[in-house]
Chain A
Amino acid sequence: MKGKLHGIIFSYEKRSGLRELTESRMPASVPFAGRYRLIDFILSSMVNAGMTDVGVAIQGNYQSLLDHLGSGKDWDLSRKHGGLRLLPAFADDNVVGGIREYRGKMEALAGVRSYLEGIRQKHVVLADSDLIINIPMQDVYQAHIASGADITAVCTSNVESDADVTFFRLDDTGRVRETLFPLRDRTGCHRSLEIYVLSKELLLNLVDECMSHDLASFRGAVLQAKARELHIQSYVWDGYAAQIRSVKEYYDRSLELLDPAIRREIFPAGRPIHTKERNDASTYVDPAGVCCNCLVADGCTIEGTVENSILFRGVSVAKGAEVKGCILMQDTTVSRDAVLQNVIADKDVVVKESCTLIGHANYPMTIAKGSKV
């Protein structure tokens, strides 16, 4: 497996249902699970499978993502050869100045065509950056080789999603017969997790063909249009997977992590999720503090009451404050006697003394980065 698979992660701006959370960043760098960013999960899945070369196609407001990924050192991807490569569009002749939203993956790939040519590995895995998963990528690769398929598509039998996602209709052999989106009646269908394995050679041919025909969408121009011509094989993954595409989804999937069974699936022994290290001391729980059913990252100070919540690194909850069903991102400060329920506070939010903020479990209140309430 080592050295046989190249990763490309798409992280360009799409219309996002993540609202305030993506005001100052792309979905890829939205904080998740107390100390991670969304992109850490797919990136770690690749690294844990022995992949050494990963390109991240970026476009849009990517400052926060650049800051997070840095040289790739934290994922062991700062290498003499290969390693992590950030790929802003650099060969896009069609667009003056290169600043417009990519219409789809094929356009994003065309934008970095010269990079694709230089790929050292025979096979490429394409993936989205907003997928929470911990998948043994080497198994997907081996299934791809064993089936002899042109493209292997990872999908799940869980078809629930309100977002713009892709569905497959499979035949008895697991071959993808139809690609559908959007789809109302999803009976018997599978939902794509947007992880695809194919050869570098096929990828380059598809990119060229799509560009010649001004086709931008991978799922439209390739999966949908070429279902007969190409052997597209499914790889069904019924382990944990979540596509974070709305605030509600973000909130529910975050709080779901309080379930030990789900944590075990996302954080199994031997396949760690890597992330950018910060230097925080351990979290301190004061005698006055109450902390119950919470996921707590390092560097927090808990003097108030925190229940059913997720605290990111460096959060402080002062005496008398009450935090329930909340997600408090990095360095949020909750002052004395403040009350927070069903709130998502983005980085550096300050909630002042005795302030009360109450959202609903079905519609959590989101507070934008750096706000002082």
Chain B
Amino acid sequence: MKKECIAMLLAGGQGSRLYVLTSNVAKPAVPFGGKYRIIDFPLSNCTNSGIDTVGVLTQYKPLELNSYIGSGQPWDLDRMDGGVHILPPYMREGDKGTWFKGTANAIYQNIGFVDMYDPEYVVILSGDHIYKMNYDKMLEAHKAANAACTISVLEVPWDEAPRFGIMAVDGEDNITEFQEKPKQPKSNLASMGIYIFTWQKLRQALIEDEADPNSSNDFGKNIIPKFLAAGEKMIAYRFDGYWKDVGTLESLWDANMDMLSRGDLDLLEDSWPIYARLPSQPPAYIGKSSLVEHSVVTQGCEITGTVKNSVLSPGARVEDGAEVHYSVLMPGVTVKRGAVVRYAILGENCQVEAGATVGENPENCDPEKWGVTVLGPGTAIAAGETVKPKTMLNSEHKEVSR
């Protein structure tokens, strides 16, 4: 049962900044890039990196996420020994069971699970990042430096550094200071929220952190500073591929568009496949009078209208004369005859009736009033209706403010 390294995936967050898209599902279960859900990225990274034991910590609305992960088979994580495990909060002796209070507390509550595999190292992952990364290389760096903690970092433009958790390092990439969203950043190395810990060190720190009533039991706020204060060896692991936190509607839309341009995030490139659980649907049909340009389509799509610069998920339909521009259509969305969708994210099974207009091009709009239009899952837009840019509607067609 002993494993060298296992992964713990934090998937319990509500993802409140995705608003209507996460009103019924946890953030990691939100569809991405046509065929995927966000959680496919860390799970596929694990399996591609040779990590065969993954604990998924769930808390907020986990039903869809749980059934999506299922046995773990699509990610080759249905194993006799190890595999993927869903870890919700649970009752303990007495009446001590509580919700996960913070990211560190979530791991603390599952010390028993980690101990079952008695690993040397634990990788801590988030369920809201889009990236392809070999954790094994990071683990090698961790071992080579004989570190207690390794944090994956990304060089960001200096002017953006104040938005991130910043790691100041010395000449050998030893972390000397951690600054959370600093006004005066000491470096431009942003934490990606991916950590490798030597398990016994982390285990001890979690127990101590739990005993501290003033702690908010969070990795960024408490555990990392605690390691630094204790003078533990901490190194920054520089990652230079594509990485995006898709915790906001804008970044989710951006990441979908990034995928389309097939630059750093090329999903068709097959040396590092991303796996997904998919329904059985026939191939996409692209009709006689349709126009599809710089877009991705997938199984179950039926397109007889125009689709440009857009991402279509399984079962999306764009009818005759309808137009979809710079938009993300999640599974089962229908855009009927003559309707126009621009710069929008349409949640699962939205129906846009004939002649309706959703969203607008930025150039045709007051910059103040412009933004990506978002429809929550199952929203129905009536024939001829207009949904203004930057508007967000929930499934009851009520406007939700950001």
The answer to whether A and B belong to the same complex is: yes
Q: Is B288 touching A282 in the complex (CB atoms < 8 A)?
A: no
Nearest-Cβ distance from residue A114 to partner chain B, whole angstroms: 31
Stretch of A85-93, A102-110, A270-278 contacting B (4+ beta carbons < 8 Å)? A270-278
Nearest-Cβ distance from residue A43 to partner chain B, whole angstroms: 12
Q: Classify the interface of chain B: helix, strand, loop or mixed.
A: loop
Cα distance A266–B283 in the bound complex, in angstroms = 12
Q: Is B35 touching A267 in the complex (CB atoms < 8 A)?
A: no
Cα distance A291–B290 in the bound complex, in angstroms = 8
Cα distance A294–B286 in the bound complex, in angstroms = 5
Contact A273:B295 (CB < 8 A) given known A281-B274, A293-B286: no
Chain B residue numbers with a CB within 8 Å of A333 are: none
Stretch of A178-186, A203-211, A224-232, A295-303 contacting B (4+ beta carbons < 8 Å)? A295-303
Q: Interface centre among A35, A282, A285, by most B CB within 10 Å?
A: A282
In this complex, what residue of A is CB-closest to B278? A277
Query: For the complex, is B268 an interface residue (Cβ under 8 Å from A)?
Result: yes
Contact A273:B280 (CB < 8 A) given known A281-B268, A291-B286, A293-B288: yes
Chain B residue numbers with a CB within 8 Å of A292 are: 286-290
Chain B residue numbers with a CB within 8 Å of A287 are: 293-294
Question: From residue 268 to 285 of chain B, which have CB atoms closer than 8 A to chain A?
Answer: 268, 273-276, 278-285
Query: For the complex, is A97 an interface residue (Cβ under 8 Å from B)?
Result: no
Contact A281:B283 (CB < 8 A) given known A289-B293, A292-B290, A298-B298: no
Q: Is B293 touching A260 in the complex (CB atoms < 8 A)?
A: no
Contact A35:B299 (CB < 8 A) given known A281-B267, A301-B268: yes
Question: From residue 254 to 268 of chain A, which have CB atoms closer than 8 A to chain B?
Answer: 258, 260, 263, 266-267
State the total of A-B contacts with C-beta under 8 angstroms: 103
Cα distance A280–B283 in the bound complex, in angstroms = 12
Q: Is B268 touching A279 in the complex (CB atoms < 8 A)?
A: no
Cα distance A290–B278 in the bound complex, in angstroms = 27
Contact A286:B297 (CB < 8 A) given known A281-B267, A281-B268: no
> Size of chain A's interface in residues, with CB distance under 8 A?
37
| Chain B, interface residues (CB within 8 Å), range | 35 or more
Q: Is A295 touching B284 in the complex (CB atoms < 8 A)?
A: yes
In this complex, what residue of B is CB-closest to A275? B280
Query: For the complex, is A326 an interface residue (Cβ under 8 Å from B)?
Result: no
Chain A residue numbers with a CB within 8 Å of B15 are: none
Contact A284:B262 (CB < 8 A) given known A298-B298, A301-B268: yes
Q: Is A272 touching B73 in the complex (CB atoms < 8 A)?
A: no
Q: Is B74 touching A277 in the complex (CB atoms < 8 A)?
A: yes
Q: Is B280 touching A282 in the complex (CB atoms < 8 A)?
A: no
Cα distance A293–B287 in the bound complex, in angstroms = 4
Nearest-Cβ distance from residue A231 to partner chain B, whole angstroms: 37
Q: Is A34 touching B282 in the complex (CB atoms < 8 A)?
A: yes
Query: For the complex, is A372 an interface residue (Cβ under 8 Å from B)?
Result: no
Query: For the complex, is A22 an interface residue (Cβ under 8 Å from B)?
Result: no
Chain B residue numbers with a CB within 8 Å of A33 are: 282-283
CB-contact partner of B73 in A73, A263, A267, A282, under 8 A? A73
10 A-B contacts, Cβ less than 8 Å apart? A35-B282, A260-B302, A267-B281, A275-B280, A281-B35, A284-B296, A294-B286, A298-B284, A298-B298, A311-B283
- State the 3 A-B residue pairs at the shortest beta-carbon distance, nearest first: A34-B283, A281-B267, A282-B34
